[in-house]
């Protein structure tokens, strides 16, 4: 083979080897970089949260059968998973409630229905069946403390996942107001209420817990009974009665004190959950009213109780 042929063959091999090296080195780096960029774009599109518009409901009370119409940009605000009204309440809201109070005094057949809203991802730490009802009760208390009669207020709660908090977990105005005019000749609702309240007296709420216990965990049925008792207090003007009981172990005088401590603990829990202090009476029966045999430990455990009812 001639020298010229070897030279040409060397050139061809160099070109082939260069092409192979370029493919495996340069193209691999470029393709991976492009692929990485595409993956980054896809990742960013997946993790980027969709911003939800913050809900801000106005304070609106309108009497469709009268001449009262109030609309304010402010409202009652709450933190998520909380039923206490955020302070301070605006002066416009306070003045609006006072105007509404005067309107209700002039129109005793008018009633206001307060609906509190709650989200499904909130935690209900109240004594009420749901957080919406607890919020409505807090707003009701604000009305009552500003002179509105509780007999002209109804409350309920409603699930509403369309309300969105701000970045500080504040819900702006998760409440609505609906005004109704009662029929003076229709006494059926009041009769039904009295029947329901009499049933509570026959079957009160009974709690068993140790004095000094940090909290009370209520079942769904017990939460509903708290709501029913509160409704009777509002509508009939009766008092919530909290009675502490003990077994017959130990000194009788000490048991009276122990029963009172149990009643006071339950009252503190209720006031922390939006029941007005002025609506609660406490007393101790000590070991005087047993419901089971004090000769057995099971019976004594049943007698160590707190009863919540209405007078």
Domains of the chain, by residue range, sit at 1-48, 59-184, 189-310
pLDDT of residue 216: 82
How big is the chain by its Cα radius of gyration, in Å? 34
**Residue 104 φ then ψ, to 5°:** -70, -35
Name the H helices within 181-250: 188-202, 220-236
pLDDT of residue 11: 66
Task: Pick left, alpha or beta for residue 205 (phi over 0 → left; psi -120 to 50 → alpha; otherwise beta).
Answer: beta
Q: Can you point out the beta strands (E) in the chain?
A: 59-62, 69-72, 77-79, 110-118, 153-159, 170-172, 175-181, 205-207, 240-245, 280-286, 305-310
pLDDT of residue 302: 95
pLDDT 10s digit of each residue in the chain, 311 long?
565 565 656 666 666 666 666 665 555 545 555 555 555 555 555 555 666 899 999 999 999 999 999 999 999 999 999 999 999 999 999 999 999 999 999 999 999 999 999 999 999 999 999 999 999 999 999 999 999 999 999 999 999 999 999 999 999 999 999 999 999 888 898 899 999 999 999 999 999 977 556 678 899 999 999 999 999 999 999 999 999 999 999 999 999 999 999 999 999 999 999 899 999 999 999 999 999 999 999 999 999 999 999 98
In angstroms, the CA 77 to CA 271 distance is 20
Beta strands 153-159; 205-207: pairing state: unpaired
| Residue 235 tokens, joined | 């509508």
pLDDT of residue 235: 93
**Residue 240 bridge partners (DSSP):** 280, 310
pLDDT of residue 215: 73
Instruction: Spell out the residues 6+ positions from residue 203 whose beta carbon is closer than 8 angstroms to its own.
Output: none
Level-2 CATH architecture, domain 59-184: 2-Layer Sandwich (3.30)
In angstroms, the CA 222 to CA 220 distance is 5
**How many Cα atoms sit within 13 Å of 66 on the Cβ side?**
21
In angstroms, the CA 69 to CA 246 distance is 54
Sign of the dihedral defined by the CA atoms of residues 299, 300, 303, 306, in that order: negative
**Residue 291 φ then ψ, to 5°:** -115, -5
Level-2 CATH architecture, domain 189-310: 2-Layer Sandwich (3.30)
For residue 7, the tally of other CB atoms under 10 A from its CB is: 9
Instruction: Spell out the residues 6+ positions from residue 34 whose beta carbon is closer than 8 angstroms to its own.
Output: none
The pTM (predicted TM-score) of the whole model is 0.81
| Residue 204 tokens, joined | 């009160």
Say what angle helices 188-202 and 220-236 make with each other, to 10 degrees. Answer: 130
User: Is there a shared CATH topology between the 59-184 domain and the 189-310 domain?
Assistant: yes
In angstroms, the CA 172 to CA 73 distance is 10
């Amino acid at each position: 083979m001639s020298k010229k042929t070897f030279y040409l063959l060397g050139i061809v091999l160099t070109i082939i080897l260069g092409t192979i090296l370029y493919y495996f080195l340069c193209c691999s780096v470029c393709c991976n970089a492009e692929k990485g960029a595409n993956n980054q774009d896809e990742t960013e599109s997946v993790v980027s949260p969709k911003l939800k518009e913050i809900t801000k409901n106005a304070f609106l009370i309108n009497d469709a059968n009268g001449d009262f119409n109030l609309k304010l940009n402010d409202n009652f605000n709450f933190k998520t998973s909380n039923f206490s009204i955020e302070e301070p309440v605006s002066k416009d809201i306070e003045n609006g409630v006072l105007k509404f109070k005067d309107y209700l005094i002039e129109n005793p057949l008018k009633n206001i229905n307060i609906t509190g809203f709650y989200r499904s991802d909130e935690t209900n730490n109240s004594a009420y069946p749901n957080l919406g009802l607890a919020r409505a009760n807090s707003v009701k208390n604000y009305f009552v403390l500003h002179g509105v009669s509780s007999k002209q207020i109804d409350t309920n709660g409603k699930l509403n996942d369309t309300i969105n908090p701000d970045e500080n977990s504040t819900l702006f105005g998760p409440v609505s107001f609906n005004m109704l005019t009662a029929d003076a000749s229709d006494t059926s609702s009041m009769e039904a209420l009295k029947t329901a309240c009499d049933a509570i007296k026959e079957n009160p709420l009974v709690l068993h817990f140790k004095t000094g216990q940090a909290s009370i965990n209520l079942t769904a049925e017990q939460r509903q009974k708290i709501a029913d008792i509160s409704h009777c207090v509002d509508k009939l003007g009766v008092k919530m009665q909290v009675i502490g009981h003990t077994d017959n172990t130990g000194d009788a005088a000490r048991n009276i004190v122990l029963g009172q401590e149990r009643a006071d603990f339950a009252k503190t829990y209720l006031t922390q959950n939006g029941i007005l202090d002025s609506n609660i009476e406490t007393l101790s029966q000590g070991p005087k009213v047993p419901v089971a045999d004090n000769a057995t430990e099971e019976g004594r455990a049943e007698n160590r109780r707190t009863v919540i009812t209405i007078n």
